[in-house]
Structure 1
Amino acid sequence: MALDINKPLNSLGFPKSPAETRVVVAMSGGVDSSVVAAHLAAEGYDVVGVTLQLYDHGAALAKKGACCAGVDIHDARRVAEEMGFPHYVLDYENIFRDAVIDEFADSYLAGATPVPCIRCNERVKFKDLLETARDLEADCMATGHYIQRKMGVQGPELHSATDSARDQSYFLFSTTPEQLEFLRFPLGHLPSKQATRELAAQYGLQVADKPDSQDICFVPNGNYASVIEKLRPGAAEPGEIVHADGRILGTHEGVIHYTIGQRRGLGIGGLEEPLYVVRLDVDTRRVIVGPKDMLSTRTVPLREINWLGDAPLTSQAEWHISVKVRSTRPPREAVLRPISATEATVELLTPEEGVSPGQACVFYETTGTRVLGGGWIWRGATV
């Protein structure tokens, strides 16, 4: 059916009625995506709910506090029943393992600090699930992420959420312009999570007071090392804890138990100076520790860059932007120097501590809320 461009746009940006607009909602079973689905259904859209089973359902049933647990599949289905729209559960276990879990394990074994939630969005939710939504003849796909999609001069732009405390732009920097054309984020403009819960109560959803998930969905209680040991038997090989000046201070039970910037739990008490993990030498199985000033980083090498600016990344020798090197830190001013369309170095105007390979560096406008993309930190950053 041809679109009537003279008709006013509906709330999802299409020149037709909500009833004529099919939207697939990615439903995790949490309050955020449930509110998105309920709200769109209440507005009269042709809603189809889809939940991904990302790992063994039997194990998931015993796992609480994670976005993909069995109880969450049940909660998503119940919301769909209450609001009167179809709901499907798709088995993505093999895809998820190949695209996310295996890389997570290998990155940790290589001494990096991976961010699997970004890879999940990039390789599963916004790739395979998005294609499934197209197969279902949807006009768009909506999620419960706290981020904004705004129309700019050259098309849709990615912007951080109104509520900076809930902003998830760090985890969505690899969203491509093509994906952004198809995606919608109905919660990004809300002032707070409380506003979302109030909407859930308004729609009578039983998940209105459901706690937020805290852990990576396949990592129980945040215990990364135990997951790595199960995925890669023999990974926790003992080695030495060595001071940056060469002194051997103790031993450890596996490099996988440590991350850059870690101070607590090193097992080397009794020293006068506080020491931090400054480097992980996987080949020699050594954990290198040193004073806090050794964690300061000014130059950050990046690859696999996804650029969302209007002009090509390589059209300028330098870009003056703001960046986040951790999801929990505010953007800091920096200079981005392209090497190619997918590689660059970032110079932080104020040094950051604890920057580690495997993490993302996300780009923002220095003024405003626009997300300009980001890249992956791929080797040791320097002072």
Structure 2
Amino acid sequence: MRVLAAMSGGVDSAVAAARAAEAGHDVTGIHLALSRNPKSYRTGARGCCTIEDSNDARRAADVIGIPFYVWDMSDEFHEAVVEDFMDEYAAGRTPNPCLRCNEKIKFAAVLDRAMALGFDAVVTGHYAQLETGPDGLIEMHRAVDMAKDQSYVLGVLTQEQLAHSLFPLGDSVKGDVREEAERRGLMVANKPDSHDICFIADGDNAGWLKEKLGDRAPNQGGDIVDQGTGEVLGQHEGTTAYTIGQRKGLRLGRPAPDGKPRFVLDIEPVSGTVTVGPREALRIDRISGVRARWCGTVPERLDGTVQLRAHGAEHRARITTSSSDGTVRDLVQIELLDPAEGIAPGQAAVIYDGSRVVGSATISATARSEALV
């Protein structure tokens, strides 16, 4: 096949490209320039958006012996990922920009352009496995190395996108990949993994949001209120500094009457009210989801599991789907048999049937049944 290898400048994408070439595919490497100003994004070999990363990807392509190009997708990235991230926080939600990037950039804009140029598939260094199911559809499964499994952030992919994707690292473990990179003479063999959000240079999400949102911020401050008593415990300078489940950084100056720490339970972006309370009040077992995306056949009902964070645990769950307009089943109701804590609107609920990824939905609301009250 004629395949396009998305090369971030990190070790995983380099080895994935090398394996694709070794398998006999006609491989062309590309690096996505996602920053309008690369110096404003994270530096220090973080494997994502910097000039150093572009150079690392180019050197890896030279070693593999494949053509290499840089695609400027900074405008698409800013609109679909960065602006979305700011809009979601301004609305009091907690988005996952990595899922949005996979959905809108790496497996939409890139794949569309690749197909238009005559490529058959896009290969990436994600840790997930693809196989053909008994119904002839392409199934995505968790990676062999559960510590590196990235199926959660790929849960937004559709059947059409999976049919034109290759994930050569799905059956590997990270240590073996680094050793293979060294054997192949790839200089990125010992390059650190990327972490956090690539477009926030110092990892200070709250500070970045405060600076970038400016007048778009929903409020410039408000009350921190105790859930149980309604007492105003303190003030804050903006709700974008808080997420559901947060414990540190509340700066209340006094403990709860029982001496236990308080956690953020709710964020109201219009009034600016941040509600805090005990950890047990974070427990939920009901989730509503919107904008569902399905990897294959859409289930009406499913007894499976859901994952609610990129590196979170699986929760046994009963999933029911419905339609908002009578055409596609884009709404999801999830009953957690294993309650979860600190789940916020805007996060993604990725649905599994065993190791197979069924699909995903954006969490719109959470609730506690009487059994948890």
**TM-score calculated relative to the size of structure 1:** 0.89
Give, in whole Å, the separation in 2 of the partners of 1:265 and 1:153.
51
Give, in whole Å, the separation in 2 of the partners of 1:242 and 1:173.
36
Cα distance, 1:269 vs structure 2: 3.2
Matches within 5 A, 1:95-114: 95-114=76-95
Cα distance, 1:44 vs structure 2: 3.7
Secondary structure, aligned partner of 2:246: coil
- 2:292 counterpart of 1:305: yes
Match of 1:143 in 2: 124
Give, in whole Å, the separation in 2 of the partners of 1:62 and 1:108.
21
Matches within 5 A, 1:42-57: 42-57=22-37
Which of 149, 166, 169 is matched with 2:151 structurally? 169
Secondary structure, aligned partner of 1:207: helix
Unpaired runs of at least 5, structure 1? 1-20
Which of 13, 16, 22 is matched with 1:36 structurally? 16
- 2:347 counterpart of 1:359: yes
**TM-score calculated relative to the size of structure 2:** 0.92
Alpha-carbon deviations, 1:25-70, whole Å to 9, x = none? 0110100001111222234431100111111244257623251221
Please give the root-mean-square deviation of Cα atoms over the aligned residues, in Å. Answer: 1.5
Match of 1:370 in 2: 356
Distance verdict in 2 for CA 1:237–1:380, change over 3 Å: farther
Alpha-carbon deviations, 1:155-184, whole Å to 9, x = none? 210101011100011101110000111001
Matches within 5 A, 1:202-281: 202-234=183-215, 235=217, 237-244=220-227, 245-271=229-255, 272-281=259-268
- Percent identity of equivalent pairs: 41
Q: Aligned letter for 2:304?
A: I
Cα distance, 1:381 vs structure 2: 3.6
Give, in whole Å, the separation in 1 of the partners of 2:235 and 2:203.
23
Alpha-carbon deviations, 1:73-115, whole Å to 9, x = none? 1100111122221111111111111111111001111111100
- 2:271 counterpart of 1:284: yes
Give, in whole Å, the separation in 2 of the partners of 1:373 and 1:113.
19
Unpaired runs of at least 5, structure 2? 324-328
Give, in whole Å, the separation in 1 of the partners of 2:361 and 2:344.
13
Cα distance, 1:265 vs structure 2: 1.3
Secondary structure, aligned partner of 1:103: helix
Distance verdict in 2 for CA 1:93–1:286, change over 3 Å: same
Give, in whole Å, the separation in 1 of the partners of 2:213 and 2:290.
26
Equivalent residues of 2:129, 2:171 under 8 A apart: yes
Alpha-carbon deviations, 1:262-282, whole Å to 9, x = none? 111110132223110000011
Equivalent residues of 1:173, 1:371 under 8 A apart: yes
Q: Aligned letter for 2:279?
A: K
Matches within 5 A, 1:315-330: 318-330=301-313
- Aligned residue pair count: 356
Give, in whole Å, the separation in 1 of the partners of 2:288 and 2:210.
29
Match of 1:195 in 2: 176
Secondary structure, aligned partner of 1:313: coil
Cα distance, 1:239 vs structure 2: 1.5
Secondary structure, aligned partner of 1:379: strand
Give, in whole Å, the separation in 2 of the partners of 1:361 and 1:55.
28
